[in-house]
Amino acid sequence: MTTLLDYAIPGVPFGCVFALMAVGLVLTYKASGVFNLAFGAQAFVSSLAFVSFVADGWPRWLAGLVAIVVLGPALGLVLDRVLFRRVRTASPLVKLVPALGLLIALPQVALIVAGSAPDIAPPSLFFDAQRVYLHVASVPISGLELSVTVATVAVVIALVAVFRFTPIGLEMRAVVESPRMTELAGVNAGLVSAFAWVLSSCLAGLAGVLLAPLYAQLDSQNYTVLLVWGIAAAVVARFASLPVALLGGIGLGIGQQVLAGYLPAGILATGLRPSLPFFVLLAFLPFARQRQVDDPLAGCDPPPTALVGEATGYRSANLLAPSGGDGAGHAVAGWHRALQARADRGAGVPSAGAHGVVDRLASRPTLVVAWAVGGLAVLSALTWVPNVWLVTMTQGIAFAVIFVSLTLLTGMSGQISLCQASFAGLGGFVAGQLADHFGTSVLVGMVLGGAVAAVLGVVVALPTLRLAGLPLALATLAFALLADNILFPNSWVGNGATGVTVPRPQLGPIGFNGSRSFFVLALVVLALVAALVRTVGQGRMGRLLAAMRGSELASVSTGIDVHRLRVVAFALSAGLAGVGGALYGSLERSLSPDAFNYQLSLVFLVVAAIVGLGSVSGAVVAGLVFTALQTEVATFPPRFSGLLPVVFGLATLSYTRHPEGIVDFLGGGVLRALGRRRQGAAGAGGGDGPGAGPGPADRSSARTAARSAVATGEVAVPEGGGRS
Amino acid sequence: MSTASQADPVLVLEGVSASYGPYRALFDVSFSVPAGAVVALVGANGAGKSTVARVASGLVPASAGRVLLRGHDVTRRRAFEIARMGLAHVTEGRSVFGSLTVEENLTLAFRRALGHGGVADALARAYEVFPRLGERRGQLAGTLSGGEQRMLALSRVLVLRQDVLVVDELSLGLAPVVVDEVYEALGTVRSGGTALVLIEQHVNRAFTIADGVVVLHKGRVAYDGDVAGAAARLDELVLGGPPAAAP
Ligand SMILES: Nc1ncnc2c1ncn2[C@@H]1O[C@H](COP(=O)(O)OP(=O)(O)OP(=O)(O)O)[C@@H](O)[C@H]1O
Ligand SMILES: [Mg+2]
């Protein structure tokens, strides 16, 4: 019995920090509808500030006060103002991407601002960290453990009291249900939700400051892990209950320590502990309600704007669809699409690729430019480009393959995957292991690696079939952790700390050892993968996927086997990612076990979404941009080394304005400009005469409007119609 | 309506247009509501009645024109400011906080308007007028019956004596007896001096207590005048009559 307590009690302080995180997540989620994954980063920023201040000789209480009560909330408020406020009613993906982007970029930016990480051991907020203050069941409790526990319990009790018994608490609960109805009662809802952000940012800051001394040094990785634990506890609380979030967090903290204590040493012991959140998420996610009560005044919002350009038929027209379940309008839209898909399936109608090439090129000037630039690049690569650059370009192509796999899964079918890097990694490891053990050619290995990754895709898809949106994203994230900790360290997969060697392929007499030959090979692989995904997108399956993205429920009601479709989409996407991973491994000639860790999955999704998930070309650009930034910025003088996270952060900001992605946005922008010119040339004889009243400024949004009219199933008075 | 009464109008819409994103829902809508009067706002589905209500209460911004409340221009004001200035809007469908108790629903509005000290008195008055609410003060408003929810929404207006109440489809989905009760409550609100803008599908019902009628057709005012005139040409007006002559 004492042994259990010996393990359990040291788990409590960890659990408390998890709990603070979870409570903060639940609080903002309830008050603003945003599941703020950037909390991990906010916690890090506060703790960095705290430790830096203390290193500068500030008293601990002052450093803590400034870091938690001033800096944390200030950061939270800024993020809310410039970012999260814009995406409040957007789709889960559009809400998720900025938060993830910040999670990645913010710690880097903070380190740049701070100069460097302070090199003192992080102090505890109060009490003497090492001194033993008391014993619980003969387990000694240090000041560190005591401070964390006391602070957490006090804060959560205070929070619950605020919610239950104070006017602002009542107003926060009202805003949670409906900001507009709260305003009708004479309450400034904006102010109330800003207050909720301040509160939860304080919690994130507190969690960060409390967590810091639990580790020997400050490391932003720990805060991402902290975030994942917090998420698990928030899910246990079904995104709703603060007290359950507290208990869940503490429970998880104890659970991980007890597990670590009782399991026999080995991968299972070291691996199972960090993957505990995965099992918790899988067990509890199906019960997590997305939001408690729907806002009865949601009808005041205009319908979501559709995205520009739909030449390829599977543009992510629904990225901006409101979250919170299928609104009636979306059910209609999805239903419409589903019907169409059904009809096509029955009649075998040929897909929408009927326009001639010339027609398409003329209608999409960006396409011409893209082909020209691409052709030029390939030509250069084959002739004069130096080797170093060529390798970078080839890396970009390998990543492009992985990004294309995301286009299929997230862009076309709307499933958010935060474990794409794990699929890629598995593909690479399998190819390497096969070559190593059986001398299998890497080309064959690539295909087999893809196949094994596809199987893994099925393994991920099956238990998550009933999840969508945010819960699905969280489950895949947890899965990536599982893969990192349990799957990849095995000698027969990622081979522990050594990693796996992946040879270059050999095709009969042709070897691919040279950079140029391998570049060509990579190009061919990318072309094949891109063609496959395009074909899928424009064919029947693409329409079925689009129907599913529109509304899963509506698709089911028209007889589409959504579950099978999802499994297939996951398998296909995972398979392609696996091929990409194998390609990358072969290029590098080796893969370290953390070459494709879960953080890379987050980066993948963010980059893909920012650059453009709506099209294959977007994915290709994403791959190239990603590699270019990564490798080229690394060679800058140190003064500029912070550029990448800053660029990344700024791109994240741009994303909230252009969720269609940069590629589609620019493409659409050119189209719009051309359209305006043509309209101008046609003279002012247009339908809307003077006095037609204010309306959308440019023509293309009328087109957009017409489309969203279908999407919302509403009938509105046509623009400028009527009198004249 | 402006001709029908000599009293100062408490609510005026002047050439109001409104859009939901790219869709225009209202075109140059003008009418006014005299203090203490009842204006029935009728029209076919999608005519723009709810949009008028939302523009008046600040939930949807007017893209052109002005909204005047007691002579003050509130066109650019936020919804909570308009509410504090004396306009109440009981929205279509559920118009109470389902996750709060009856008492919390009332307290939320009372505390802003009356300060901390006034809440207890105000609650007592609300329960006095609607004893049923008093019996259920601890119950979640979401579990109240449709009729009780309407009472709850009205009791707030009643106690706060707001200047204008815009009610959207108050009787929708209620049994006839309950409709009677709700209308009785509406009468009580009115006798407290609150002007009403009554949006109703049950046109005849609304006409029994209305002083004036505004008919909307496809986002424009098709009729603005007395009840008898509207009743005579109702079908033609609602189902697609010619728009009223431009001002
Ligand atoms: N959120 C919205 N987005 C886009 N268009 C909308 C939205 N809400 C209403 N509309 C459109 O504006 C017009 C007016 O709608 P409104 O709800 O004001 O009509 P209504 O007269 O209240 O109809 P009902 O009797 O059905 O309640 C309709 O054409 C409707 O389709
Ligand atoms: Mg309506």
DSSP string, A98-163: HHHHHHHHHHHHHHHHHSS---SPPPPSSS-SSSEEEEETTEEEEHHHHHHHHHHHHHHHHHHHHH
- Of A232, A257, A292, the residue at which a domain comes to its end is A292
The percentage of residues in chain A with a pLDDT greater than 90, rounded to a whole number, is 17
Cα(B48)–Cα(A169) distance, integer angstroms:
36
A391 and A517 inside one domain:
yes
Same domain, A475 and A497: yes
A300 C-alpha vs ligand 2 centroid, how far in Å?
A: 11
Span B98-122, average pLDDT: 90
**Counting ligands in written order, which one lies closest to the CA of residue A327?**
1
Rounded CA separation A269/A273 (Å):
7
* DSSP state, residue A717: B
A449 and A356 belong to one structural domain: no
Q: How far is the CA of A26 from the centre of ligand 1 (A)?
A: 34
**Which chain A positions have a beta carbon within 8 Å of B83's beta carbon?**
183-186
DSSP state of B140: B
Taking ligand 2, which is a single-atom ion, which protein residues have CB atoms under 5 Å away? B 50
Could you give the CA distance from residue A186 to residue A189 in angstroms, rounded to a whole number? 9
- Please enumerate in sequence order all residues whose Cβ is within 8 A of that of A692, keeping only pairs 6 or more positions apart, or say none: A719, A720, A724
- Give the Cβ contact number of residue A57 at 10 Å: 7
Q: How confident is the model at residue B220 (pLDDT cuts 50, 70, 90)?
A: very high
What are the strands, taking DSSP E only, across chain B?
9-20, 23-34, 38-43, 62-69, 72-73, 87-90, 164-168, 195-199, 212-217, 220-225
The answer to whether the CB atoms of B63 and A705 lie below 8 A apart is no
Residue B116 belongs to some domain of the structure: no
Between residues B201 and A294, the one the model is more confident about = B201
Q: Mean pLDDT throughout A227-245?
A: 87
Distance between CA atoms of residues B131 and B136, nearest Å: 9
Look at residue A196 in the predicted model and tell me its pLDDT: 87
Report how far apart, in Å, the C-alpha atoms of A407 and of each of A534, A574, A648 are: 10, 12, 20
The DSSP bridge partners found for residue B87 are B164
First to last CA, chain B: 14
Residue B136 lies in a domain: no
Name the residue facing B22 among A170, A297, A701 (closest C-beta).
A701
Tell which atom from ligand 1 comes closest to the C-alpha of A300. 1
3-state secondary structure of A451: helix
Residues 216-245 on B with a CB inside 8 Å of A are 218-220, 243
The helix/strand/coil state of B168 is: strand
Question: Which pLDDT does position A496 carry in this prediction?
Answer: 75
CATH classification at residue B82: 3.40.50.300
* Nearest atom, ligand 1, residue A303 CA: 3
The pLDDT assigned to A136 comes to 76
Question: In the predicted model, what is the mean pLDDT of residues A136-154?
Answer: 82
Q: For residue B25, give the nearest of A178, A717, A720 by CB distance.
A: A717
Three-class DSSP category at A266: coil
What is residue A116's predicted lDDT score, i.e. its pLDDT? 73
Residue nearest to atom 22 of ligand 1 (CA): B50
Task: Report the 10 Å Cβ neighbour count for A579.
Answer: 32
Judge if A473 and A351 occupy the same domain.
no
A300 is a domain residue? no
Q: What's the whole-number average pLDDT of chain B? A: 88
Q: Which two tokens stand for residue B73?
A: 């221009």
Do A534 and A459 fall within a single domain?
A: yes
Record the tokens describing residue B162, joined without a space.
Answer: 């707001």
- Cβ A34 vs Cβ A169: under 8 Å: no
Residue A329 forms part of a structural domain: yes
DSSP state of B101: B
pLDDT > 60? residue A673: no
Does A310 fall in a domain?
no
Residue A135 is encoded by which pair of tokens? 């014993």
For chain A, say whether B25 makes contact (Cβ under 8 Å). Answer: yes
Say how far apart CA A617 and CA A366 lie, in whole Å.
11
Whether residue A566 sits in one domain with residue A523: yes
Q: Name the closest residue on chain A to residue B60, using Cα atoms.
A: A300
Q: Which residue has the higher pLDDT, A411 or A717?
A: A411
Residue A691 burial (CB count, 10 A):
9
* Residue A668 · residue A364 · CB < 8 Å: no
Alpha-carbon distance B4 to A591, whole Å?
A: 85
B191 touches chain A (CB under 8 A): no
Task: Tell me if A304 is assigned to some domain.
Answer: no
Is the Cβ of B95 closer than 8 Å to some Cβ of chain A?
yes
Contact A704 B22 (CB under 8 A): yes
Model confidence pLDDT, tens digit, residues A619-661: 888 888 888 777 766 555 555 556 667 777 777 777 877 777 7
In chain A, which residue's Cα lies nearest the Cα of B245? Answer: A723
B21 and A186 in contact by Cβ < 8 A? no
Phi, psi (rounded to 5 degrees) for A447: -65, -45
Partner-chain contact B22 A167, CB within 8 Å: no
On whether the CB atoms of residues A402 and A522 are closer than 8 A, the answer is no
The whole-angstrom separation of Cα A127 and Cα A597 is 37
A224, A191: one domain: yes
Enter the ipTM.
Answer: 0.92
Greatest distance between any 2 Cα atoms in chain A: 89
Global pTM value:
0.76
Q: Any residues with CB less than 8 A from the CB of A9 and at least 6 apart, and which?
A: A136, A137, A139, A141, A145
**Short-list A582, A580, A562, A669, CA closest to A623:** A580
pLDDT at B52: 95
Higher pLDDT, A723 or A503: A503
Residue position matching structure tokens 């001394």: A213
Rg (CA), chain B: 18
The pLDDT of residue A318 is above 70: no
- Other Cβ atoms closer than 10 A to A235: 29
Taking phi over 0 as left and psi of -120 to 50 as alpha, with beta for the rest, A127 belongs to left
State the residue range of the domain holding A225. 2-292
A614 and A316 in contact (C-beta within 8 Å)? Answer: yes
Name the band, by pLDDT with cuts 50, 70 and 90, for residue A348. Answer: very low
Quick one: average pLDDT of A592-600? 85
Nearest CB to A181; choose among B97, B111, B219: B97
Residue A717, in any domain of the structure: no
Domain presence at residue A449: yes
Largest Cα–Cα distance in chain B? 54
Q: How far apart are CA A106 and CA A317, in angstroms?
A: 30
Please identify which residue in the block is written with the tokens 């940012």: A201
Q: What is the pLDDT of residue B195?
A: 94
> pLDDT, tens digit, for every residue of A86-112?
777 677 788 888 888 888 888 888 888
For residues A474 and A593, membership in a common domain is answered with yes
8 Å CB contact of B107 and A702: no
B105 found inside a domain? no
Q: Does B101 touch chain A (CB under 8 A)?
A: no
User: Considering the domain boundaries, does residue A434 fall inside one?
Assistant: yes
pLDDT at B229: 85
CA of B49 to the centre of ligand 1 (A): 8
Query: Burial, B137: exposed, middle or buried (Cβ in 10 Å; 0-12, 13-18, 19+)?
Result: middle
A380-413: pLDDT as tens digits? 777 777 777 788 888 899 999 999 999 999 888 8
What is the spatial distance between Cα A175 and Cα B158, in angstroms, rounded to a whole number? 23
Q: Which of A279, A249, A288 is nearest to A35 (CA)?
A: A288
A183 with B59: Cβ contact below 8 A: yes
Report the amino acid identity of residue A585.
G
Is residue B95 within 8 A of residue B154, CB to CB? The reply is no
Are residue A368 and residue A355 in the same domain, yes or no? no
Q: Between chains, do A177 and B97 touch, taking CB under 8 Å as contact? A: yes
pLDDT surpassing 60 at residue A316: no
Does residue A122 have a pLDDT over 90?
A: no
- What is the rounded average pLDDT of the residues A440-460? 92
Do residues A696 and A609 both lie within one domain? no
Tell me the range of A118-122, A128-132, A164-168, A308-312 where mean pLDDT is highest: A164-168
Determine, yes or no, domain membership for B118: no
Residue A288: strand, helix, or coil: coil
Question: Which residue has the CA at smallest separation from atom 5 of ligand 1?
Answer: B20
Q: Torsion over CA of B2, B5, B9 and B14, rounded to 10 degrees?
A: 0
Question: Residue B24 sits in which domain range?
Answer: 9-92+161-240
Residue among A607, A598, A581 nearest A399 (CA):
A581
Instruction: Tell me, yes or no, whether B156 lies in a domain.
Output: no
CA distance A580 to A522: 9
Q: Which residues line ligand 1 (CB under 6 A)?
A: A 299, 301-303, 714-717; B 20, 23, 25, 43, 45-51
Q: How many CB pairs under 8 A join A and B?
A: 131
| Cβ neighbours of A184 in B, within 8 Å | 57, 59, 79-80, 83, 88-89, 91
Between B194 and A143, the more confident residue is B194
The token duo for A359 is 């027609």
Residue A127, domain CATH:
1.10.3470
The residue to mutate among B16, B50, B238, having the most atoms of ligand 1 within 8 angstroms of its beta carbon, is: B50
Taking CA atoms only, the protein residue closest to ligand 1 atom 11 is A716
Q: Indicate if the pLDDT at residue B134 is higher than 60.
A: yes
Give per-residue pLDDT as tens, B162-218.
899 999 988 888 888 888 888 888 998 899 889 999 998 888 888 988 999 999 998
Of B60, B83, B220, the CB nearest to A184: B83
B residues 154-173 near A, CB within 8 Å? 156
How many separate domains does chain A show? 3
Is A185's CB within 8 Å of B54's CB? no
Mean pLDDT, rounded, for A342-358: 43
Both structure tokens of A352: 């929408």
> Is position B103 within any domain?
no
Checking if the pLDDT of B130 tops 70, the result is yes
Query: What is the distance between the alpha carbons of residues B127 and B120, in angstroms, rounded to a whole number?
Result: 11
Tally of structural domains, chain B: 1
CB contact set of A268 (below 8 Å; sequence gap of 6+): A486
- Report if residue A544 sits inside a domain: yes
Q: Which two tokens stand for residue A485?
A: 């900790």
Same-domain pairing of A589 and A485 = yes
Mutate to test the pocket of ligand 1, among B16, B20, B45, B239 (most ligand atoms within 8 A of CB): B20
Do A277 and A383 lie in a common domain? no
**Does residue B186 lie in a domain region?**
yes
> Which of A241-255, A369-383, A484-498 bottoms out in mean pLDDT, i.e. has the lowest?
A369-383
pLDDT for the residue numbered B241: 52
Q: What would the DSSP string read from start to end of A40-81?
A: HHHHHHHHHHHHHHHHTT--HHHHHHIIIIIIHHHHHHHHHH
Distance from CA of B15 to the nearest CA of A (A): 11
Q: Are strands A500-501 and B9-20 parallel, antiparallel or unpaired?
A: unpaired
Q: What percent of chain A has pLDDT over 70?
A: 78
Helices (H), A212-356: 220-236, 242-262, 267-284, 328-347
Ligand index nearest the alpha carbon of residue A715: 1
- Return the pLDDT at A703: 37
